[in-house]
Chains A and B, each alone.
Chain A
Amino acid sequence: MTDDVTITVNGVPRRVPADGTLAAVLLGLGVTAFRRDLGGAPRAPICGMGTCHECRVRVDGIDEVRSCLVSVRDGMQVETAG
């Protein structure tokens, strides 16, 4: 049984498993739009390993962070596109 942590996603605090990447956690929370393309269409990760750059979100004020390469941390502030 892993510990849980609290992260804030788009302003909403969420309790999530501590053991996993931010990308997987966001998908588990039902986030569909990690980012939006030039036409406004939602995008989500496809490679899971840092290559496709589709999983980019804002983490603790830093833009374009590849969420599949980031572990969740208590207090993390995350902003996605939807």
Chain B
Amino acid sequence: MTPSPDVIVVGAGLVGACTALALAEAGAQVTLVEGDFAGSGSTGAAMGHLVVMDDSPAQLALTAHSRRRWLALADGMPADAEQERCGTLWIAASEAELEDAAARVAGYGAAGVRAELLSATELARIEPALRQGLAGALRVPDDSVCYPPSVARECLRRAVAAGATVHEHCTVRAVAPGRVTLANGDVLAAGAIVIAAGVESPALIPGLPIVPRKGHLVITERRPGMVHHQLVELGYLHSAHSFGGASVAFNVQPRRNGQLLIGSSRELVGTEPSINRRLVHAMLTRASAFLPSLGAVRALRTWVGFRPATADKLPLIGAWPAIPGVWIAAGHEGLGITMAPGTADLIVAGLMGNAPPVDPAPFRPDRPMPSLVEAA
């Protein structure tokens, strides 16, 4: 009879893979169980933007810490992880937006994050493909981009090298104190269980307040040199945080080979996977409004992904009191890739009793949560 591992991590998306890696490196005996293959869920559809976001102090703290970890990981990442420190430009379409951006520079600085304001002229110089008439931008030079499926695969490889056991194509059917039951009936026992199953987490943990928020992405032919930073409109923060209805925002990423990844859209339609062409049109129209030459670039493919979202826009990281021994690491909405290393650190700290890298209180999974209606 195999001894029960210290920890079972359910889900090998980037959050689960980073968590399994961090636990293994901290000396825990780790088993990672994944229903398909590493990165096959939301991670496989994700944009891979490694970004510091300041919508709340907790979000700022966790993304800033996570990004520091990403920058430290960069040198050892394989080429196919495509990690590039291209920086983010938060585009201000109006003077009001630019003032709003200016007010945030200090907050970034206080969190140890380099940020600078760019005038309209400076913006036009470094991103000439952007339309005329923009007010400027907030530049965060140390933000990065990556290719999430390859990063997840690399984290898995490192986790195994650090002693973790990985079971792919192995679905977890039920979670109980001290054990998980697999779809084939097998039972795995462990001292602790970490649920990092993204949008599928509520199926395992009744009452977990995570809903899928559908997004579309379009990838284009190669246009090397057309765009140099990840470009996001400042208005993104507003659309990402209106809950009801569908919304789009300008969000474009240059890939290493010059392809452009065009986002973003948000809808609450369960896990209905078909492509919503009206929404894609709205998303592409908005993108073309910022990048007029985008219309002449060829579109290769459109796909859909589901962000695991919570009503208060913060992930669930910590113990789940309703089931002893169960921890949650899920609900990151559009910041799962960014926050994966920081999430892993919080889980390790919680399980090992170490000092957490950021205050874990805002991420308590059993915290009072506004209802979806309230959050609109």
Instruction: Tell whether, in the assembled complex, residue B221 and residue A64 are in contact, meaning their CB atoms are under 8 Å apart.
Output: yes
Instruction: Tell whether, in the assembled complex, residue A38 and residue B257 are in contact, meaning their CB atoms are under 8 Å apart.
Output: yes
Assembled-state Cα–Cα distance A65/B298 (Å) = 10
Instruction: Tell whether, in the assembled complex, residue A64 and residue B257 are in contact, meaning their CB atoms are under 8 Å apart.
Output: no
Assembled-state Cα–Cα distance A63/B221 (Å) = 10
Please report the total number of B residues contacting A with Cβ < 8 Å.
Answer: 4
CB distance from A61 to the nearest CB of B (A): 10
**With contacts defined as CB atoms under 8 Å apart, how many contacts are there between chain A and chain B in the complex?**
6
In A29-82, which residues have CB < 8 Å from any B CB?
38, 62-64
Query: Which chain B residues border A64 with CB–CB below 8 Å?
Result: 221, 298
CB distance from B129 to the nearest CB of A (A): 15
Q: Mark B278-300, 1 if CB is under 8 A from A, else 0.
A: 00000000000000000010100
Query: Which chain A residues border B257 with CB–CB below 8 Å?
Result: 38
Q: Which residue of chain B has the shortest Cβ distance to A38 in the bound complex? A: B257
CB distance from A52 to the nearest CB of B (A): 15
Query: Which chain B residues border A38 with CB–CB below 8 Å?
Result: 257
Q: Mark B219-240, 1 if CB is under 8 A from A, else 0.
A: 0010000000000000000000
Query: Which chain B residues border A62 with CB–CB below 8 Å?
Result: 296
Interface size, A (range)? under 10
Assembled-state Cα–Cα distance A38/B298 (Å) = 18
CB distance from B255 to the nearest CB of A (A): 12
Q: Mark B226-265, 1 if CB is under 8 A from A, else 0.
A: 0000000000000000000000000000000100000000
Assembled-state Cα–Cα distance A62/B295 (Å) = 12
Query: Which chain A residues border B296 with CB–CB below 8 Å?
Result: 62
Query: Which chain A residues border B221 with CB–CB below 8 Å?
Result: 63-64
CB distance from B151 to the nearest CB of A (A): 21
Assembled-state Cα–Cα distance A55/B257 (Å) = 20
Assembled-state Cα–Cα distance A53/B175 (Å) = 49
Assembled-state Cα–Cα distance A62/B298 (Å) = 10
Assembled-state Cα–Cα distance A59/B257 (Å) = 22
Assembled-state Cα–Cα distance A64/B259 (Å) = 13
Q: Which residue of chain A has the shortest Cβ distance to B221 in the bound complex? A: A64
Assembled-state Cα–Cα distance A3/B178 (Å) = 82
Q: Which residue of chain B has the shortest Cβ distance to A61 in the bound complex? A: B296
Q: Which residue of chain A has the shortest Cβ distance to B257 in the bound complex? A: A38
Assembled-state Cα–Cα distance A45/B34 (Å) = 42
CB distance from B82 to the nearest CB of A (A): 13
Query: Which chain A residues border B298 with CB–CB below 8 Å?
Result: 63-64
Assembled-state Cα–Cα distance A63/B295 (Å) = 12
CB distance from A35 to the nearest CB of B (A): 11
In B179-229, which residues have CB < 8 Å from any A CB?
221
Assembled-state Cα–Cα distance A38/B79 (Å) = 15
CB distance from A34 to the nearest CB of B (A): 15
CB distance from B64 to the nearest CB of A (A): 35
Assembled-state Cα–Cα distance A66/B160 (Å) = 46
CB distance from B75 to the nearest CB of A (A): 23
In B49-82, which residues have CB < 8 Å from any A CB?
none
Query: Which chain B residues border A63 with CB–CB below 8 Å?
Result: 221, 298
Q: Which residue of chain A has the shortest Cβ distance to B258 in the bound complex? A: A38
In B75-115, which residues have CB < 8 Å from any A CB?
none
Assembled-state Cα–Cα distance A64/B297 (Å) = 9
Interface of A toward B, CB cutoff 8 Å: 38, 62-64
Interface of B toward A, CB cutoff 8 Å: 221, 257, 296, 298
Closest 3 CB pairs of A and B: A64-B298, A64-B221, A38-B257
A-B contact pairs, 6 of them (CB 8 A): A38-B257, A62-B296, A63-B221, A63-B298, A64-B221, A64-B298
